[in-house]
Amino acid sequence: MTWVGHATFLIQIGGLNIVTDPMWSERASTVGFAGPRRRSPPAIPFDTLPPLDLILQTHNHYDHLDERTVRRLAERHAAARWLAPLGVASWLRRRGIRDVLELDWWEETRFEQVAIGCTPAQHFSSRGFGDRDRTLWCGWSIAAPGRQAYFAGDTGYHPDFPAIGDRFGPFHAALLPIGAYEPRWFMRPVHMNPEEAVRAFQDLQRSRPPVPGREAVMVGMHWGTFKLTDEPMDEPPARASAAWRSAGLDLSRLWLPAPGETRTL
């Protein structure tokens, strides 16, 4: 797992190269001259990506679904298969994506020896005025022989994390958002704070914990790249570490990566 930035990871599992919510542009915006600007460049330069097999899209917000990046991927990685939640495929096809499959929550598909599951999330969708919630949003489970991962995408804390773990787990790595959470009166329904992310990690293991010796790792994401909300940019990892310690969890199982950092399980 290599963190490119924000919610973009390169996950190499089961012999596949998988990218999540690809975002290589300078701004998360409809235009190139305004809107949230990157505080750090993509940690893997676009031109150095390995050949991609799968691209997992969680929803259509600009910081997760970037038109310029999609068009570049359609040209450079035309053979990659895209998986997206309901309603997003037509947008992708209009930007040149050839192979895209839509899934609903709890549905599964396979690509070679890897099983991919579409998981519930508590969020919303929109790209402009008048299209709110017309397409679905989701997370993804990734199951290869001997290794299973969970990519939550954008989500508030919700009651389905134990069911996700029971259906698609046990997970060896859970990639959970820890940023973009203030003010709570506004963001609570759609973005977890670090304390809720730690609770979600525990929920995922409630019914199907990993076997001894393969304990799960929590990976903090969705922080430090774009200034989207009110909390300080460096606050999410500090609060996540404090919440982790308060829960009595082994610090070696918490990964708060620097951009470009790679972790091998």
Q: What domains, with CATH codes, occur in the chain?
A: 2-255 (3.60.15.10)
Query: Environment class of residue 79 by beta-carbon count within 10 Å: exposed (0-12), middle (13-18) or buried (19+)?
Result: exposed
Q: Residue-wise pLDDT tens for the chain (265 aa)?
A: 999 999 999 999 999 999 999 999 999 887 666 778 999 999 999 999 999 999 999 999 999 999 999 999 999 999 999 999 999 999 999 999 999 999 999 999 999 999 999 999 999 999 988 889 999 999 999 999 989 999 999 999 999 999 999 999 999 999 999 999 999 999 999 999 999 999 999 999 988 777 777 789 999 999 999 999 999 999 999 999 999 999 999 999 999 999 999 999 8
Nearest CA to 59 out of 141, 174, 152, 150 is that of 152
Scored b (16 or more CB within 10 A) or e, 222-243 reads bbbbbebeebeeebbbebbbeb
pLDDT at position 114: 98
**C-alpha distances out from residue 53 to 14, 114, 182, 191, Å:** 11, 11, 36, 29
- Cα separation, 247 vs 187, in Å, equals 23
User: Which of helix, strand or coil describes residue 25?
Assistant: coil
**Torsion angles phi and psi, residue 262, rounded to 5:** -115, 140
CB atoms within 10 A of CB 78: 12
pLDDT at position 201: 98
CB atoms within 10 A of CB 183: 10
pLDDT at position 128: 81
